Chain A
Amino acid sequence: RFLLLFSRQGKLRLQKWFVPTSDRERKKVIRDMIMLVLPRQPRTCNFLRWKDLKIVYKRYASLYFCAGLEEQDNELLALEVLHRYVELLDKYFGNVCELDIIFNFEKAYFILDEFLMGGEVLETSKFAVNVSMEQADTLQETMEEYMSKPAY
């Protein structure tokens, strides 16, 4: 249903909604998730129930990755979706940290889009995602080059 990234201080870093959600509802979900997840002790279970949703979260360094799933979704696998996303970020940025995600938030969204679509896994191969990200970057570079040329 959604994927949120927030810091230990409760600052939201990334939000992705896979079903249409009104602004008010979004704000409520974000607030509830942060309140629900942050106070939990380390080494408790990564799964929660919230209303009719399953919540799966995991902490990576100072960032919490938190996903809302529907009844029939598999929690363990969702945990690995989060992990795979972290791996992809890591590979792209090279040892990713929270700052990378703050300053290059658009890239974080693009990587997520290459990997998930409408809440379903689009491409599980790390290689394939990276190839398409690199292609995009190449396209962008050509563009930068083109931009910096003086116009005739």
Chain B
Amino acid sequence: MPAVSKGDGMRGLAVFISDIRNCKSKEAEIKRINKELANIRSKFKGDKALDGYSKKKYVCKLLFIFLLGHDIDFGHMEAVNLLSSNKYTEKQIGYLFISVLVNSNSELIRLINNAIKNDLSSRNPTFMCLALHCIANVGSREMAEAFASEIPRILVAGDTMDSVKQSAALCLLRLYKTSPDLVLMGEWTSRVVHLLNDQHMGVVTAAISLITCLSQKNPDEFKTCVSLAVSRLSRIVSSASTDLQDYTYYFVPAPWLSCKLLRLLQCYPPPEDGAVKGRLVECLETILNKAQEPPKSKKVQHSNAKNAILFEAISLIIHYDSEPNLLVRACNQLGQFLQHRETNLRYLALESMCTLASSEFSHEAVKTHIETVINALKTERDVSVRQRAADLLYAMCDRSNAKQIVAEMLSYLETADYSIREEMVLKVAILAEKYAVDYSWYVDTILNLIRIAGDYVSEEVWYRVIQIVINRDDVQGYAAKTVFEALQAPACHENMVKVGGYILGEFGNLIAGDPRSSPLVQFNLLHSKFHLCSVPTRALLLSAYIKFINLFPETKATIQEVLRCDSQIRNSDVELQQRAVEYLKLSSIASTDVLATVLEEMPPFPERESSILAKLKKKKGPGAVSVTELEDSKRESSELNGAGERGPDPSVMAASNASTPSPSADLLGIRSAAPVSTAPASAGSLLVDVFSEAGPAASSGAVNDDGFLRFVCKNNGVLFENQLLQIGIKSEYRQNLGRMYLFYGNKTSVQFASFTTTVSCPGELQTHILGIVEPLVEGGAQIQQVLNIECLTDFSDAPLLNIKFRYGGALQNLTLKLPVTINKFFQLTEMASQDFFQRWKQLSQPQQEAQKIFKANHSMDTEVIKAKLLGLGMALLDNVDPNPENYVCAGVIQTKSQQVGCLLRLEPNAQAQMYRLTLRCSKDSVSKRLCELLAQQF
């Protein structure tokens, strides 16, 4: 066994370290460090060339100082010099310094790269490994550029040592993660898959991490790995615990490799080949069986390793979601763990059950554990476990157990940890809404929620309860009564006052018959809270008061008295003052009829996605919002508004493009427009023929896109004009739909004959021409054509408009790019500076960002730029960028298949007359396209 002092030649370092440790105070430590830094600096600067040993020693000291948490701003050069030393230890320290201290944008990288290159070609396995480690540790883009093509060669070369292969595989993985575009697939890829068969377990373990990551991105190219992985797994699972010698960990054969194999299989659907699948199912069963066997060792390491494999196998079973038998077994196994004495296992069991709850095969089985989970919520000592229990309750909730679960969550909320209250409140609110059969229960639940955890009830939650009460007249009386009772409490939360003010103002009349809640009593109750509330709540209460005047004329005098008093009518807050003055005036001059009209009951709210759900998703980060979830939530929200009975599901509508008017038809009526074919049926085939002759290649030269770029930031104007013809457009967009009006003006005094237009679209867009253009356009006349557009997914190619007509016998043929660009489908997203930067950071993968630096082509006037950005369709956010010169925008592109969140930053440099434009979008292709489009606008 090596002794501690072995090979440790750096006495000076040891002395320094013990000096530091002997320092009694922080000041003494800093003093000692500064002394040492000065010493090292003078040594490095000195005339005498240092020998390798001293250099190593000083670099090592610097490293130590850095690791103590002090900044180091020199010594990099000396460390780089150490790299080219032939002495192993010097090289090693040099590499260590660089991997700890040199961040990825250092200019030294070039020098470092040279040293690495030398070591990689040294054929000395130890040096090669050091170099590979350094690449992996730094992992910058520059490194990837320099070595991405070299490493695959080392990896698959026949004469590479096993240890080097291992390092090469993981190093390549690291580079692939930072710069996937630089690691090119090639001949080596197929040979990498076969590393799964390698004799050396260490090589397999390292290679499989690489293969897993590559298959996630290129599933087809690596498909063959499935059967190889299954047979490897089956060999390990069936081996005796001693077969694998040193790769057996506490009697568990190769746990790391097994888990990685199971993880790799989760990149693919269940194997199609029956034999392979059978073998895999056998493996999974064996793993489940082993869980029941008595442990081979009492050590926690044994059970951890064994259970790690078990959990990974369960993840795979859940991923396949096709073997009811295995799913139920998995669920039972997790059920056992729920009561295990190891806290870790309880935690993990709760976590995986959450995913199991969403499978139709195992949902029922999960539900049988409800009592245990509720118990966990009540009795677990560890908050992180309680949090998982709450998550699981949320996941397993359905109509049958909603009342029980919501009640338990509410009672837990009274004692819940502050860190998770807000999320709990949202979850309770969502469940109550989603599974409310009986809306009085819903109202009770939400009011309880406000009572128990008022501080954590966000705006969205109380808005939502009001929306629902207003939309459902069967619950209004009950809501008024309950909220009236809740307000009687001596101290009630401001949110309760808000809900109370709103509901009594609308529906107080429903309970006014009872002398205990007569109009005056109601008013006095509300007004008793008035002085304790913040300005927005007071404003809301004033509106409730004026509504009272309408509902109960007998309260008019009292309320006018209140409005008239100085604290209202002369309130220093403009909003409150204005309301008081206007309401007072309104109540004294308007007739009862006018009053009744102005203060009529609020109309039902349009159906929309529950804002609470959106909030919960936001809390979980945008990554969590997948397309399917959005669809789910749509379904959920329509369910809870009872839209199922009222009208067709909007998603179905869009899919069939049905012509029945939908209740949610927007102003433009775009959704309800029936598709009309481009031209009369007889002409249809002819047009197609003409078009195919013209062909994209032939017509491309003739495509006129002069006007195109002028319309990126505006919707209306003249698209094209020559001596004969002027084409104007007007367009409007809503979500993923658009309508474009085309105006063709004949500038001559002669008639155009055989005037036809056709539009051809890239696959990502659908267009319908509404109405047929008359084949004759008289001299000086203008005709109009309407085009409906639907954006299916993001796109870069614009639709082409082809126009043909005869002018004085000569055939005119014209092709124009229609200015339909991806930004037309933007929806504004307002957000605060903090949210913006959070999202900006979340979109930090290199391919999500597109950046361009370009010369200004137009005026750099602030107002002009602002107008353009607004025309772009994104929300222009003020007070976000620390530099007020810069512009920051946010928006969401709506396509039929998905939503793409986009953030934009434009940094003008007036002196240089340049801009730098940066876009970050959740979809790479969108960032690129927007960047291209916009770079030509400013």
Contact = CB atoms under 8 A, between A and B. Distances in A.
Interface of A: 12, 14-15, 18-20, 22-23, 41, 43-49, 52, 72, 74-77, 79-80, 83-84, 91-94, 100, 102-106, 109-110, 113, 117-118, 120-128, 132-137, 139-141, 143-144, 147
A48 B60 CA distance: 34
Given A76-B307, A103-B17, A106-B60, A128 B621 contact: no
B6 A141 contact: yes
The main secondary structure of chain A at its interface with chain B is: helix
Nearest to B140: A20
Contacts of A45: 343-344, 346-347, 382, 384-385
A117 B151 CA distance: 15
Q: How large is the interface on B (under 10, 10 to 19, 20 to 34, 35 or more residues)?
A: 35 or more
A117 B255 contact: no
B344 A128 contact: no
19 contacts: A19-B139, A22-B103, A44-B381, A45-B384, A76-B344, A76-B348, A79-B344, A84-B249, A109-B96, A109-B100, A117-B167, A117-B206, A118-B174, A120-B173, A120-B209, A123-B206, A132-B163, A141-B6, A147-B53
Nearest to B306: A76
B88 A136 contact: yes
B63 interface: yes
A104 B6 CA distance: 11
Interface string B254-280: 111101000100000000000000000
A137 B9 CA distance: 11
A125 B133 contact: no
B662 interface: no
Given A76-B307, A123-B205, A126-B246, A117 B133 contact: yes
Contact of A102 (B17, B60, B206): B17
Interface in B117-153: 126, 132-133, 136-137, 139-140
A120 B344 contact: no
B170 interface: yes
Contacts of B206: 117, 120-123
Nearest to A72: B263
Contact of A20 (B9, B88, B103): B103
A116 B206 CA distance: 10
Contact of B246 (A14, A49, A125, A144): A125
Given A117-B170, A118-B174, A140-B89, A94 B381 contact: no
A144 B7 CA distance: 7
A41 B63 CA distance: 33
Contacts of B69: 12
Given A80-B304, A120-B173, A122-B170, A46 B126 contact: no
B67 interface: yes
Contacts of A110: 92, 96
B21 interface: yes
Interface in B1-58: 1-4, 6-9, 14, 17-18, 21, 53
B63 A106 contact: yes
Interface string B204-216: 0110010000000
B714 to A, nearest CB: 40
Contact of B621 (A41, A52, A137): A52
B795 interface: no
Interface in B303-350: 304-305, 307-308, 311-312, 343-344, 346-348
A149 to B, nearest CB: 13
B623 A52 contact: yes
A79 B209 CA distance: 18
B178 interface: yes
A44 B343 contact: yes
Given A113-B137, A121-B209, 18 more contacts: A12-B69, A19-B139, A45-B343, A52-B623, A76-B307, A79-B304, A84-B249, A94-B2, A103-B14, A104-B4, A106-B60, A120-B209, A121-B206, A122-B167, A124-B257, A125-B247, A134-B2, A136-B92
Contact of B126 (A41, A94, A100, A136): A136
6 nearest A-B residue pairs (beta carbon): A118-B174, A76-B308, A45-B343, A44-B382, A117-B170, A77-B308
Nearest to A141: B7
Given A76-B344, A127-B246, A137-B2, A118 B305 contact: no
